[in-house]
Structure 1
Amino acid sequence: MVSELQQRMQDSFREHVNEEYIMDCMRCGFCLPACPTYLATDQDETHSPRGRIALMKAMRDGDVVWDGSVEESFDVCLGCRACEPACPAGVQYGALIEETRVAIQQVKPQTIKEKGIRNVAFNHLFADQKKMATTVKLVQFYQKSGLQKVTRKIGFLDLFPPFMKEMESVLPKIERKSKSAPVSSPKTVNVAFFTGCLMDTLFQETNRKTIALLERLGAQVHIPKEQQCCGALHGHSGELAKGVRNARANIDAFDSDEYDFIVNNAGGCGAFLSEYEKHLHSDPLYKEKAVRFSRKNIDISSLLVKLNLNDLLKKRESDGVQAIVTYQDSCHLRNVNRVFLEPRMLLQDAPGFEYKELIDAASCCGSAGIYNLLQPEMASRILEAKMKGVKMLQPAVIVTSNPGCLMQMQVGIQREGLEKEMKALHIVDFLFNVIEKNNL
């Protein structure tokens, strides 16, 4: 007999997981060499896109029994979506894995602890920017009060999983918000800045420099006050409806003909923002607004190229020895938004640096939002492979376009004891520093 849980899970998969998307998969296997978890598990098909899609179909059809191994296959997926550009049939794997996680969350029994964490994260922290800011103030107090030094000295962090201890060690120092000095250059374009929940709290200095760069290039920067978390974390964690709730709030906040572009400086956020159109295509009140929003959405590197930052960088010729700079792709920026040339163009023109391509730069670093906290073992395996390429190249700077990738690469540098030889920087911080140093 089929258990009640098995029947409910099958019904949930049938309700939430699109069968047409599943049937688009031709089982050709072109996705396999692009999948980090397939490669990291010695080519285990259950940890490949093709294998997971087969499991989705089997769950819909009732051909497999729901158990821990099935759940693990879906949980271990990074959601990097590297399989999508590799797929000749255009399978919408990102939509499938999101729908699968929704189906699981609708039925899967949750502990009181898990319910509490999800409630705090998705209904409060990542649903209200003010609550996120308050939480970060506590982190700031932890850093500034001396509590951080005491905690590290007495070894309190040793009580936590190793990866959490490492992430604590690379948290950016949170300073008081500062404003850039106004720039008097003529304004030629109106830009609305999606500041992001983590970027505007943990990485607020990067946001300040983003505004300064845009103004230097003639942009009038607007920051809509009612914006919220993009909703990506919700969407990737089986809470898609709550992610769409945030999407509506952001669309309302940015819905103005005054804005030529809606710019973001976090690859993961940018991908979800660009798909508001997809998530709200059947909402009569937001369908057209979502189209306008998604089509104005642009990554910071793409906008900097449009505003001719390359020409500004070329004004100063390099003199003397050049340091090596390289680039680690943000998975979603590359695989969803198809942005990969623009960051490299900017780095290639940076005076004082020689750009060299990182081995397997397009492969995931293992961060994937909060994946490195939820799946530390797999994240570590992937990071270890990434650092082999870093050590072969020996760059002075590793540039990234996403906060999670930035912290992951910082952890990798720290693990390998390379802090004195190299550093990881967000692309905005790198470019801002280059411009300041060269008085451009």
Structure 2
Amino acid sequence: MRCGFCLPACPTFKETGVEAESPRGRISLMKAAVDGIMEPGISFEDQMNHCLGCRACEPACPADVKYGQLIEQARDAIETHTKQHRWWVSGVRKLVFKELFPHQKRMSLLGSGLHFYKKSGLQTIVRKTGAVKVFSKHLSDMETILPDASSKGIVEQLGTYIPAKGEKIATVGMFRGCLMDVLFTETNIKTVKLLSEAGFDVVIPETQNCCGALHAHSGESDQAKALAKNNIRAFQEAGVDYIVSNAGGCGAILVEYDHLLHEEPEWKEASAWFAVRVKDISTILVEQGRPLQFAETVDGGASTRVTYQDSCHLRNVMKGSNPARQLLKEVGSVAYIEMKDAGSCCGSAGIYNVTQPVMANQILEHKMENVNATAAQYLVTSNPGCLLQMKLGIEKHGQKDRMEAVHIADFLYDRVVKN
């Protein structure tokens, strides 16, 4: 199919108008490389890496082309066959993909370090001395919105089993994530408490690990598969009815574990068992949970203007854009404002805003035009990467005294009537 329906849905094509910056263009490049028409050199690699992987092209495609799977295969082929990293890049990739993210205890140490950096006064010293300017401007900007990290994740604070409030509906397994558990521990805790309020027993398997999304998107498919297998074992042994994610990026790969492991017949049944049980927090609350009771008035009784920014992977892969909006509209005194192009990418895309800061900033600027037009007091989203990116946008536009970016689990829990 070469119809071009994907072009207006693609963020990089909308920014540049260049065919090669579109899904159709990138697929043509992939085919040319496979057919031997072109050598997959640096320019080919750059185009594959310039893709955000938001997968907005998939819902727009009348032929149901699985572009997300194609781009991951292309990046994996680049890492396997063509790419030669500089020694320091190889070292960083090994540290991040193999030595850090797969190991929750090491992630906890990262959380301890970041917590010390913020609470010891070191962050203040670094900013006042200008040492933060040693980094690129974009990383310096990101440092300003660094969340409060924790060395104690959800298991250390709540344990591995949290019973339902009232009559039990089902048993869910909480996917705590890796970065999510050290940078957004409080959001994880509130997610579990929301599930309990809605009638779910919550189990948090200690042996679970990183979802593998960052690995799969970066050409490290073997490592992604190893992480997937361990997660499948952990949740099968826990005997849960559903597996709940509160991060759209994580949920999108969890729900596709069956595809990730499709070349391994011995994992066919187990991966299918896992994938079909994955639910986003908003989706399971709306579809299976007991209705939550929200306070009639909040924020002193004044009407609160709220808008919602979709997580690309939650919207395009998990098809979960409506439940979050439904929940927000049920909260007392909320005036829900639908943002123009709320489903378009914010430019975060995992680590895209670090590896491709120029394009990420262009996309963020256009997003902020629509955000500012809502005049919302709260900008709600369902993914940690989106949350940080929107915090950065609010900071850059001088809106932090008038607008706050929050995760939907935090926004809902702070307003629910506890049983």
TM-score band by shorter chain is: over 0.9
Could you tell me which amino acid in structure 2 is paired with residue 236 of structure 1?
Answer: H
Deviates more, 1:275-284 or 1:380-389: 275-284
Q: State yes or no: 1:433 paired with 2:408.
A: no
Q: Secondary structure at the match of 1:130?
A: helix
Q: d(CA) in 2 for partners of 1:264 and 1:283? A: 25
Query: Displacement of 1:69 after TM fit?
Result: 2.4
Partner of 2:67: 93
Is the deviation greater in 181-190 or in 218-227? 181-190
Are 2:290 and 1:316 aligned?
no
Listed as ranges, the matches of 1:152-231 within 5 Å are: 152-175=127-150, 177=152, 178-179=157-158, 184-231=165-212
CA shift at 1:282, angstroms?
2.9
Correspondence for 1:11: none
Match of 1:262 among 214, 222, 243: 243
Q: Offset of 1:163 from its aligned partner?
A: 1.3
Structure 1 residues 405-414 or 183-192, which shifts more? Answer: 183-192
Residue 374 of structure 1: aligned partner: 355
- Residue 143 of structure 1, CA deviation: 1.2
Equivalences for 1:385-396 in 2 at 5 Å? 385-396=366-377
Alpha-carbon distance in structure 1 between the residues aligned to 2:187 and 2:66? 33
Equivalent residue number for residue 5 of structure 1: none
Cα separation, 2, equivalents of 1:65 and 1:261: 45
Instruction: Work out whether 1:305 is the aligned partner of 2:305.
Output: no
In the alignment, what sits opposite 1:3? none
Instruction: Give SS of 2:48's match.
Output: helix
DSSP 3-state at the match of 1:200: helix
Is the CA contact 1:233–1:369 (under 8 Å) kept in the aligned structure 2? yes
Aligned counterpart, 2:99: 124
Q: TM-score, normalised by structure 2?
A: 0.94
Q: Take 1:410 and 1:117, find their aligned partners in 2: how far apart are those partners?
A: 26
Q: Which residue does the alignment assign to 1:60?
A: 34
- In the TM superposition, residue 174 of structure 1 has moved relative to its aligned partner by 2.4
Offset at residue 64 of structure 1 (A): 2.1
In structure 1, what is the Cα distance between the partners aligned to 2:261 and 2:151?
Answer: 37
Cα contact 1:310–1:349 (8 A) shared by 2: no
Contact 1:30/1:86 (CA < 8 Å) preserved in 2? yes
In 2, the alpha carbon distance for the partners of 1:79 and 1:119 equals: 22
SS at match of 2:266: coil
Letter in 1 for 2:86: T
Provide the rounded CA distance (Å) in 2 between the counterparts of 1:391 and 1:333.
Answer: 23
Matched, 1:33 2:14: no
> By how many angstroms is 1:273 displaced?
0.2
Q: Work out whether residues 100 and 106 of structure 2, in 8 Å CA contact, stay in contact via their aligned partners in 1.
A: yes
Could you tell me how far apart the structure 2 residues matched to 1:369 and 1:134 are? 21
Tell me how large the CA RMSD over aligned residues is.
1.8
Q: Match of 2:47?
A: 73
CA pair 110-317 structure 1, distance change in 2 beyond 3 A: closer
TM-score (norm 1): 0.90
Q: Secondary structure at the match of 2:310?
A: coil
Retained in 2: the 8 A contact 1:359–1:389? yes
In structure 2, how many angstroms separate the alpha carbons of the residues matched to 1:335 and 1:29?
18
Shift in Å, 1:306: 2.7
* Structure-1 separation of matches of 2:208 and 2:19: 41
CA offset digits 1:274-295 (Å, max 9, x no partner): 0001111232322101010001
Aligned residue for 1:409? 390
* Letter in structure 1 aligned against 2:99: H
Q: What's the CA shift string for 1:120-177, capped at 9, x where partnerless?
A: 0111111111111111211111112111111111011111111111211111112464
Aligned partner of 2:18 in structure 1 is: 44
1:75 deviation in Å?
A: 1.0
> CA contact under 8 A between 2:151 and 2:182: conserved in structure 1?
no
Q: Percent identity?
A: 48
By how many angstroms is 1:316 displaced?
Answer: 2.9
Q: Which moved more, 1:178-187 or 1:242-251?
A: 178-187
* C-alpha distance in 2 between matches for 1:94 and 1:66: 19
1:334 aligns with 2:315: yes
Amino acid at match of 2:180: M
Supply the distance in 1 between the matched residues of 2:165 and 2:297 (Cα, whole angstroms). Answer: 25
| Partner Cα separation in structure 2 for residue 33 and residue 212 of structure 1 | 40
Aligned AA for 2:198? L
1:234 aligned residue: 215
Shift of the 257–197 alpha-carbon distance from structure 1 to 2, 3 Å rule, reads: closer
1:220 alignment partner, SS class: strand
Are the equivalent residues in 2 in contact too, given 1:310–1:345 (CA < 8 A)?
no
Contact 2:33/2:39, CA 8 A, preserved across alignment: yes
Whether the aligned pair in 2 keeps the contact of 1:348 and 1:354 (CA below 8 Å) is yes
Partner of 1:296: 277
Q: Counterparts of 1:244 and 1:39 in 2: how far apart (Å)?
A: 33
The whole-number CA distance in structure 1 between the counterparts of 2:165 and 2:201 is 11
**Aligned partners of 2:235 and 2:94: how far apart in 1?**
27
| Mean CA deviation greater in 223-232 or 248-257 | 248-257
TM-superposed CA distance for 1:317, in Å, is: 6.6
Give me the whole-angstrom Cα distance separating, in 1, the residues matched to 2:292 and 2:118: 40
- CA gap of 1:309–1:325, structure 2 versus 1, over 3 A, is farther
Count, aligned residues: 411
Q: What's the CA shift string for 1:279-333, capped at 9, x where partnerless?
A: 11232322101010001111000111134465523x7378953121011000000
Q: Secondary structure at the match of 1:209?
A: helix
Instruction: In structure 2, list runs of 5 or more residues that go unmatched.
Output: none
